[in-house]
Structure 1
Amino acid sequence: MKVVNDSQPRVAIVTGGAKGIGRGCALELAACGMDIALVDLLDDELARTKSEIEALGRRCLTFHADVANFAAAQKIGADIANQWGRIDVLFNNAGKANPKGLLDISEEEFDRTIEINLKSCFNWCRAVVPTMQAQGAGRIINMSSINAHSGGVTSAVSKFSYAAAKAGILGLTRSLAKELGPQITVNALCPGLIKTETPNAVIRAREEELVTGIVLNRCGTPQDIAQVVKFLATSEPMFITGQDFIIDGFQWKL
């Protein structure tokens, strides 16, 4: 039974929403008329993005939380549902790179990479799905990576532990799409080289060289990702679920 209050604006949760891709996608969803809940550990950046969302005329809640914390996700998810009466979109964007190879990484570092990138998706899906099921609809978008397909390469963001976590997200996405359909769609994004407002040192040092391996001859931007997030979050009707979208400008030289 659908219990959502359709008189209220749609609500999107964006983890890792303080800056970079998360910020860009949160602003795009706000521009589409959604109220936004941001989850991150970066308080100053959270405040800035909140102000930008409110300047678009939308409401914004911010939560200082570690996305790998299961209990925090459940509490925040319940708080958002209680305060705003609905949760329509979850964008599991938060993640963290680990540039260390097999013989350099510690067990604790490997576990933390899996927790932030993969377990966080479980945490937040578990937090929002009851609300989405009660209202009879929902959209979940999980952030994976091109490295889920290619494995880790020379980029500082894509060694094996990161690639393994991002590949796990694809399995989670396909499985939850089957489990939660037809009311809830679950899809994944696999970005390639994305240049944010604070690009990593590898991109800064090697950008000209790196883009020669991209057919569209440039790095991607948060806005490139935001257009796909907007499509998956807002398009009606929606006959796409369980898919992973490669957004890399055709990065043929990995």
Structure 2
Amino acid sequence: MTKTALVTGGARGIGRACALALADAGFDVALVDLLEVEMAATARDIEARGRRALTFQADVSDFARAHAIVEQVGATWKQLDVLLNNAGAANPKPILEITEAEFDRTIAINLKSCFNFIHAAAPVMLEQDAGGRIISISSINALSGGVTSAVSKHAYAAAKAGILGLTRSLAKELGPKVAVNAICPGIIATDLLRNLLDDRKEQLTAGIAMGRVGTPEDVASIVRYLATEAHMFMTGQHFVVDGFQWSC
């Protein structure tokens, strides 16, 4: 039986790479993003791999919309095997400069979105004989408190740390039918970091043991493993994908 996955923030960057890796692994993939044109391009690439694709233009912080999307995926494909919470946004402002609205928005996009889609998807997975897998993209900022490059600061670090707490608590509640894990990427070459990498790539690379910044495909390889390993005895964990970023 073909398995299915839902990827938030699936239009480009890490989300796109993960969606294509899942398609290569035999999954039909539903995409959620605000970027309609880029999302349509990713959907075409999924279909070029012989898999089915669904697209939903949506604000992931909308609780009701998340439930409606999961319901439509279930009605169309009759199952949901993997949920990848990837959607996110950074706000690099210092604590005395960020507004309440900006802080709330950063938390909503990065953390509340995970709650929204897990709240919708978990009942579906618990009812399935095969259970399911929930994977959420956190960040090394959750562990370090934010890198000195000022890619992100307090709101982002707090939201990404919240994902780790949510992952651990949900692993206890949803096991044994649903495995819940998180991934903490380091500096990854995406549109979000394009300007920073253009200006400081050599400096940033010098602080990474592997001698390079990461790629979306580096993260996608871990997502594919967590989604496909049949007898995986891992849940409630976070996996750091940063090339051992010892200084930044």
Normalising by the smaller structure, the TM-score range is: over 0.9
Residue 7 of structure 2 is matched in structure 1 by 14
Alignment counterpart, residue 86 of structure 1, candidates 69, 74, 79 = 79
Partner of 2:92: 99
For residues 170-181 of structure 1, the aligned pairs below 5 Å read 170-181=164-175
Deviation at 1:236, TM superposition (A): 1.4
Q: What amino acid is the match of 1:150?
A: S
Letter in 1 for 2:140: I
Query: Mapping of 1:51-130 within 5 angstroms?
Result: 51-130=44-123
How many residues align structurally?
Answer: 247
Question: What does residue 226 of structure 2 align with?
Answer: 232
* Cα distance in structure 1, aligned partners of 2:96 and 2:133: 39
Q: Does 1:148 align with 2:145?
A: no
Query: RMSD in angstroms over aligned alpha carbons?
Result: 1.0
The answer to whether structure 1 residue 244 and structure 2 residue 238 are counterparts is yes
Alpha-carbon offset, residue 65 of structure 1:
0.3
**Contact 1:70–1:123 (CA under 8 A) maintained in structure 2:** yes
Give TM-score scaled by structure 2 length.
Answer: 0.98
Native 8 Å contact 2:187 2:214 kept in 1 = yes
- How many angstroms apart in 2 are the aligned matches of 1:201 and 1:159? 17
Q: Is the 8 A contact 1:37 1:61 kept in 2?
A: yes
Distance across 2 between alignment mates of 1:126 and 1:203: 36
List aligned pairs for 1:190-209, cutoff 5 A. 190-196=184-190, 199-209=193-203
Shift of 1:222: 0.6
Q: Which amino acid aligns with 1:10?
A: K
Letter in 2 for 1:123: N
Runs of 4+ in 1 over 2 A off after TM superposition: 153-157, 196-200
Instruction: Tell me the alpha carbon deviations over residues 17-48 of structure 1, each in whole angstroms, 9 at most, x when there is no partner.
Output: 00000000000000011000000000110111
How far did 1:151 drift?
0.6
Question: What's the CA shift string for 1:196-228, capped at 9, x where partnerless?
Answer: 266431111100110000000000001100110
Matched with 1:4 is none
Report the more deviating stretch, 154-163 or 54-63.
154-163
Point out where structure 1 has 5 or more consecutive residues left out of the alignment: 1-6
Could you say what secondary structure the match of 2:184 adopts?
A: strand
Letter in 2 for 1:74: H
CA displacement at 1:52 relative to structure 2: 0.4
Identity value in percent: 60
Between 1:60-69 and 1:157-166, the stretch displaced more is: 157-166
Return the alpha-carbon distance in structure 1 between the equivalents of residues 148 and 37 of structure 2. Answer: 31
Distance, in Å, in 1 between the alignment partners of 2:98 and 2:193 is 23
State TM-score, norm by structure 1: 0.95
Query: In the aligned structure 2, how far is the partner of 1:51 from the partner of 1:160?
Result: 37
Unaligned runs of at least 5 residues, structure 2: none
Q: Distance in 2 between matches of 1:215 and 1:50?
A: 35
> Which residue pairs with 1:215 in the alignment?
209
Determine the structure 2 residue equivalent to 1:3: none
SS in 1 for 2:54: strand
- Separation in structure 1 between the aligned mates of residue 144 and residue 96 of structure 2, nearest angstrom: 20
Asked if the contact 2:32/2:55 (under 8 Å) is kept, the reply is yes
